[in-house]
């Protein structure tokens, strides 16, 4: 924004530069006016008053002045400026160069007036008011002078101080970038420059246009104590129209007490901020905000690490690490004992946040009036384990490129408190009262993984089943009533992160459409089926979750829950069965549902939850309609999902039911061949036969042989099996081992061998 070459020098962040380049660019006064030196944030009323008084005086002085000087400074006018720079700070004003310009009178008089009136400025020297485009408007320029002049002065003092490197400078945190831009910051602190800076044209601009007021702690009497963490001042015109920015903007992070900045690290009051010497990274003489380049040169201490390195250096202790910025769910655990508050140990990223009272403990049944929130950002222990392993393997492989990343020059732009503040806000949104519901996928996924691992591995790995324990945070707030004013229409349009507001009141209305075309009919039908399936699914999910819920509800409510559960189950079955008959599943309904892949899935998941007689009925229905189902399944080929649950049910069936089932399967003429053509059919058949065989061999008194049905059925099956050409016999999913023994009961040797060959049943020893 500033065009001075000298300023550019300062801005280029190279500290070695010593000399100022003499020539400068054109100073675009318009530009300067518009995008001045930043907001002035002292009391504009005061300024105005002062200005008004001055204005009068100026006008008097201007009486004979050269008006032409007002509009624009002659470009060459700016050039000699630097040449006039090298002056001792206490030089008297005005610089001789002033006279050279047109309008010097005005400038002169003004300068004298202003600088004279404010002793603080007097010592500064080089009031370069040819920017003395003091438009006749009573602008801030002079006002800006008086106001921030003190700060200006102090900066000068600062320069010296800095230079001597004596007094530790409390961090003037918020102004870093802007300081640099304005050439103000102690970026390049070389003696020559210091002097330059005092007299630079920049100064004059500053004085005219105004400076952001720096609440410098050195000046303890500074009443206006803005938060140091205020975001950099707006580079808007400080003058025309709007009053200067002074209030702490909305959303400013909480002010941190100054003492923090000044304290030695050791004495940092809260553990939260303890971060070893790294926190106050730079040697005290320098303000905290230095350009990255300077940082690299100055500070040799390892700087803050970038957000997520795989490992963290030894600089930070576990607790410190734990409190590091951590706005995301972080999967980096470290090995090592975890402090009790921080499950998972230290690490670069913590999935756990320094929420005020986080309680890590077993999940207790929440009292109703005080719902407890859960922090779902915790990782499942299984997950964490996986990640550690992965981390380790990667770490071994990749070596440590850590050094490269160890010095992140941009990591100091926010203080610890700010980072935590942001993180907390985000985390607040992630707490929920019912983590199981809100975090359904994640929790279930890892539970399933655990179960799978348990199944696969043998018990040699004696790890206890890990459960995800979501720590709880006490719920703070109650219902939110949006702000309303009496007698006003509508709602306020204010919404924020914390109280998001419903923007649209949308009401759902169902329209009945009477028009039906052919295709629409079909589509409607399908949609209807899907709709039914979805409805059933919701019921199914309820049923599935029953167990978990059961464990969670207190004693007295368990009865009610049980009842509810039963109702759900019944409902599920009812939707399948025939209207009148309890023990028979409606064919068309069943068929309808099973014609969609989702429906098949639904049934397969539903079966385990049904009581045995009902489950049996369902399977009967399936068996009965198998050919039709098989036909419809040609595209999806997913009937085989049913095998497992069906197997379970079959094994629990009674012998009569089994016989019935076999009969159903054979059903009408020609059904069996079609059944045999389908993989699922064959598998089902085998299952039935195998179960029968099991029954027979295990329990000689079983009723299977009581009537001849079973035998006859088996006979017909074998006949069919032999008759059917091999090509149309579909291989089953698996062949139960005891089929051979079954067949051997009923058929003679020759046929047995034929069967054996055809079905590729391996002979097993009995």
- Residue 491 binding other proteins, by CB under 8 A: no
Among 79, 421, 567, 746, binds other proteins (CB under 8 A): 421
10 Å CB burial of residue 183 (0-12, 13-18, 19+) is buried
- Residue 83 binding other proteins, by CB under 8 A: no
Evaluated on CA atoms 17, 23, 29, 31, the torsion sign reads negative
- Residue 390 binding other proteins, by CB under 8 A: yes
- Residue 308 binding other proteins, by CB under 8 A: yes
- Residue 437 binding other proteins, by CB under 8 A: yes
Among 353, 537, 546, 573, binds other proteins (CB under 8 A): 537
Among 370, 441, 486, 701, binds other proteins (CB under 8 A): 441
Q: Which is nearer to other proteins, 539 or 742 (CB)?
A: 539
Query: Which phi and psi angles does 359 have, rounded to 5°?
Result: -110, 120
Among 53, 429, 484, 728, binds other proteins (CB under 8 A): 429
- Residue 432 binding other proteins, by CB under 8 A: yes
- Residue 469 binding other proteins, by CB under 8 A: no
Cβ of residue 578: shortest distance to other proteins, in angstroms? 27
- Residue 327 binding other proteins, by CB under 8 A: yes
- Residue 379 binding other proteins, by CB under 8 A: yes
Buried b (16+ CB within 10 A) or exposed e, 295-322: beebbeebbbbebbbbebbebbebbbbb
Task: Select from 163-171, 495-503, 675-683, 692-700 the region that touches other proteins (CB under 8 A).
Answer: 495-503
Task: Select from 16-24, 26-34, 421-429, 644-652 the region that touches other proteins (CB under 8 A).
Answer: 421-429
Q: Which is nearer to other proteins, 63 or 494 (CB)?
A: 494
Task: Select from 223-231, 496-504, 679-687, 703-711 the region that touches other proteins (CB under 8 A).
Answer: 496-504
Structure tokens belonging to residue 418:
């700010």
Task: Select from 194-202, 261-269, 431-439, 729-737 the region that touches other proteins (CB under 8 A).
Answer: 431-439
Residue 544, CA distances (Å) to 537, 540, 564, 605 in order: 10, 6, 12, 9
Cβ of residue 748: shortest distance to other proteins, in angstroms? 47
- Residue 271 binding other proteins, by CB under 8 A: no
CA dist., res. 450 & res. 355, Å (int) = 29
CA dist., res. 521 & res. 531, Å (int) = 15
Cβ of residue 422: shortest distance to other proteins, in angstroms? 9
- Residue 256 binding other proteins, by CB under 8 A: no
Among 3, 359, 363, 424, binds other proteins (CB under 8 A): 424
β-sheet bridge partners, residue 432 = 374
Q: Which is nearer to other proteins, 641 or 746 (CB)?
A: 641
CA dist., res. 90 & res. 126, Å (int) = 9
Buried b (16+ CB within 10 A) or exposed e, 139-168: bbbbbbbbbbbbbbbbbbbbbebbeeeeee
Residue 719, CA distances (Å) to 544, 692, 713, 722, 723 in order: 43, 18, 10, 5, 6
CA dist., res. 631 & res. 591, Å (int) = 11
Query: Which phi and psi angles does 726 have, rounded to 5°?
Result: -60, -30
- Residue 426 binding other proteins, by CB under 8 A: yes
- Residue 453 binding other proteins, by CB under 8 A: no
Cβ of residue 387: shortest distance to other proteins, in angstroms? 5
Q: Which is nearer to other proteins, 376 or 666 (CB)?
A: 376
- Residue 265 binding other proteins, by CB under 8 A: no
DSSP 374: E
How open is the CA angle 88-94-96, to the nearest 5 degrees?
85
Tell me the chain's radius of gyration from C-alpha atoms. 42
CB 652 within 8 A of CB 610: no
Q: Which is nearer to other proteins, 85 or 602 (CB)?
A: 602
- Residue 527 binding other proteins, by CB under 8 A: no
CA dist., res. 196 & res. 187, Å (int) = 13
Among 383, 568, 600, 624, binds other proteins (CB under 8 A): 383
Helices assigned H by DSSP within 279-415:
292-298, 318-322, 381-398, 402-406
Q: Which is nearer to other proteins, 281 or 378 (CB)?
A: 378
CA dist., res. 130 & res. 107, Å (int) = 6
Task: Give residues with Cβ within 8 angstroms of 39, minimum separation 6.
Answer: 210, 212, 233, 234, 235, 236, 238, 244, 245
CB 607 within 8 A of CB 649: yes
Task: Give residues with Cβ within 8 angstroms of 393, minimum separation 6.
Answer: none
Cβ of residue 42: shortest distance to other proteins, in angstroms? 26
What's the gap between Cα 425 and its chain centre? Answer: 11
Cβ of residue 330: shortest distance to other proteins, in angstroms? 5
Q: Which is nearer to other proteins, 172 or 303 (CB)?
A: 303
- Residue 50 binding other proteins, by CB under 8 A: no
CB 175 within 8 A of CB 226: no
Cβ of residue 340: shortest distance to other proteins, in angstroms? 21
What's the gap between Cα 509 and its chain centre? Answer: 35
Q: Which is nearer to other proteins, 72 or 561 (CB)?
A: 561
Task: Select from 280-288, 443-451, 662-670, 749-757 the region that touches other proteins (CB under 8 A).
Answer: 443-451
Cβ of residue 428: shortest distance to other proteins, in angstroms? 5
- Residue 530 binding other proteins, by CB under 8 A: no
Helices assigned H by DSSP within 553-642:
555-574, 587-594, 597-606, 612-624, 626-632
Q: Which is nearer to other proteins, 35 or 421 (CB)?
A: 421
CA dist., res. 84 & res. 86, Å (int) = 6
- Residue 353 binding other proteins, by CB under 8 A: no
C-alpha closest to that of 252 among 235, 233, 230:
230
- Residue 465 binding other proteins, by CB under 8 A: no
Cβ of residue 500: shortest distance to other proteins, in angstroms? 6
Q: Which is nearer to other proteins, 330 or 343 (CB)?
A: 330
Q: Which is nearer to other proteins, 476 or 489 (CB)?
A: 476
Size of residue set near other proteins by CB under 8 A: 57
CA dist., res. 766 & res. 762, Å (int) = 12
- Residue 331 binding other proteins, by CB under 8 A: yes
Cβ of residue 684: shortest distance to other proteins, in angstroms? 23
Cβ of residue 230: shortest distance to other proteins, in angstroms? 16
CA dihedral 216, 219, 224, 225 (to 10 degrees): 50
Structure tokens belonging to residue 32:
């300067």
- Residue 466 binding other proteins, by CB under 8 A: no
Give the per-residue contact string, 156-195, with other proteins (x = CB under 8 A; - = no): ----------------------------------------
- Residue 307 binding other proteins, by CB under 8 A: yes
Helices assigned H by DSSP within 308-401:
318-322, 381-398
Among 167, 365, 541, 648, binds other proteins (CB under 8 A): 541
Task: Select from 138-146, 531-539, 555-563, 567-575 the region that touches other proteins (CB under 8 A).
Answer: 531-539
- Residue 386 binding other proteins, by CB under 8 A: yes
Q: Which of residues 582-611 bind other proteins (CB under 8 A)?
A: 601
Which residues contribute to the site for other proteins (CB under 8 A)? Answer: 254, 306-310, 327-331, 349, 356, 373, 376, 379, 383, 386-387, 390, 394, 401, 405, 421, 424-426, 428-433, 437-446, 448, 475-477, 479-480, 498-500, 534, 537-538, 541, 601
């Amino acid at each position: 924004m500033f065009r001075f070459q000298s300023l550019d020098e300062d801005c280029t962040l190279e500290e070695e530069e010593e000399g100022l380049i003499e020539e400068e660019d054109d100073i675009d006064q318009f530009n300067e006016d518009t995008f001045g030196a930043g907001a002035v944030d002292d009391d504009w009323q005061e300024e105005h008053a002062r200005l008004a008084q001055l204005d009068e005086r100026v006008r008097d002085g201007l009486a004979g002045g050269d008006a032409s000087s007002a509009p624009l400074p002659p470009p060459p006018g700016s050039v000699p400026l630097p040449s006039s720079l090298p002056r001792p700070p206490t030089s008297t004003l005005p610089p001789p160069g002033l006279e050279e310009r047109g309008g010097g009178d005005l400038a002169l008089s003004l300068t004298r007036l202003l600088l004279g009136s404010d002793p603080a400025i007097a010592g500064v020297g080089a009031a370069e008011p040819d920017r003395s485009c003091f438009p006749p408007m009573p602008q801030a320029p002079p006002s800006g002078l008086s106001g921030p002049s003190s700060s200006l002065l102090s900066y000068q003092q600062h320069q010296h101080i800095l230079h001597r490197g004596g007094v530790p400078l409390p961090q003037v945190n918020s102004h870093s970038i802007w300081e640099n831009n304005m050439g103000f910051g102690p970026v390049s602190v070389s003696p020559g420059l210091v002097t330059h800076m005092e007299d630079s044209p920049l100064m004059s601009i500053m004085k005219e246009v105004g400076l952001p007021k720096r609440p410098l702690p050195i000046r303890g009497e500074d009443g206006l104590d803005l938060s140091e963490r205020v975001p950099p001042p707006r580079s808007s015109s400080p003058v025309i129209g709007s009053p200067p920015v002074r209030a702490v903007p909305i959303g400013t992070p909480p002010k941190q007490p100054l003492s923090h900045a000044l304290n030695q690290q050791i004495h940092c009051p809260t553990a939260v901020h303890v971060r070893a010497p790294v926190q106050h990274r730079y040697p005290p003489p320098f303000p905290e905000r230095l350009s990255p380049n300077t940082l690299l040169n100055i500070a040799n201490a390892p700087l803050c690490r970038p957000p997520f390195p795989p490992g963290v250096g030894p600089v930070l202790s576990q607790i410190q690490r734990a409190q590091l910025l951590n706005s995301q769910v972080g999967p980096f655990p470290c090995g090592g004992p975890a402090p009790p508050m921080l499950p998972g140990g230290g690490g670069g990223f913590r999935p756990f946040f320094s929420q005020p009272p986080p309680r890590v403990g077993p999940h207790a049944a929440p009292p109703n009036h005080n719902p407890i929130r859960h922090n779902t950002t915790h990782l499942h222990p299984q997950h964490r384990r996986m990640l550690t392993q992965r981390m380790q393997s990667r770490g071994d492989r990749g070596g440590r490129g850590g050094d490269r990343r160890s010095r992140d020059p941009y990591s100091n732009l926010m203080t610890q408190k700010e980072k935590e503040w942001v993180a907390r806000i985000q985390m607040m949104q992630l707490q929920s009262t019912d983590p199981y519901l809100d975090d359904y996928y994640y929790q279930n996924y890892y539970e399933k993984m655990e179960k799978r691992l348990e199944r696969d591995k043998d018990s040699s790995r004696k790890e206890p089943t890990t459960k995800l324990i979501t720590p709880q945070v006490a719920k703070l707030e109650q219902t939110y009533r949006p702000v309303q004013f009496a007698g006003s229409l509508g709602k306020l349009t204010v919404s924020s992160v914390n109280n998001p507001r419903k923007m649209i009141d949308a009401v759902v209305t169902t329209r009945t459409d009477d028009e039906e075309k052919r295709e629409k009919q079909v589509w409607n039908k399908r949609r209807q089926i899907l709709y039914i399936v979805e409805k059933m699914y919701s019921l199914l999910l309820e049923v599935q979750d029953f167990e978990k819920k059961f464990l969670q509800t207190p004693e007295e409510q368990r009865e009610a829950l049980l009842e509810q559960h039963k109702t759900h189950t019944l409902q599920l079955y009812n939707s399948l069965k025939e209207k009148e008959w309890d023990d028979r599943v409606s064919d068309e309904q069943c068929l309808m549902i099973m014609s969609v892949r989702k429906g098949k899935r639904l049934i397969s998941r539903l079966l385990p939850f049904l009581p045995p007689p009902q489950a049996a009925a369902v399977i009967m229905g399936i068996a009965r309609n198998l050919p039709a189902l098989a036909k419809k399944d040609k595209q999806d080929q997913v009937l085989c999902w049913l095998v497992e649950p069906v197997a379970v049910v079959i094994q629990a069936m009674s012998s009569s039911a089994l016989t019935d089932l076999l009969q159903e399967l054979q059903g009408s003429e020609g059904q069996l061949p079609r059944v045999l053509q389908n993989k699922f059919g064959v598998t089902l058949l085998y299952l039935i036969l195998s179960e029968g065989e099991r029954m027979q061999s295990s329990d000689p008194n079983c009723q299977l042989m009581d009537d001849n049905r079973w035998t006859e059925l088996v006979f017909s099956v074998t006949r069919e099996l032999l008759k059917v050409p091999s090509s149309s016999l579909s291989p089953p999913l698996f062949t139960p081992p005891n089929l051979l023994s079954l067949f051997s009961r009923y058929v003679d040797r020759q046929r047995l061998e034929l069967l054996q060959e055809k079905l590729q049943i391996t002979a097993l020893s009995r």
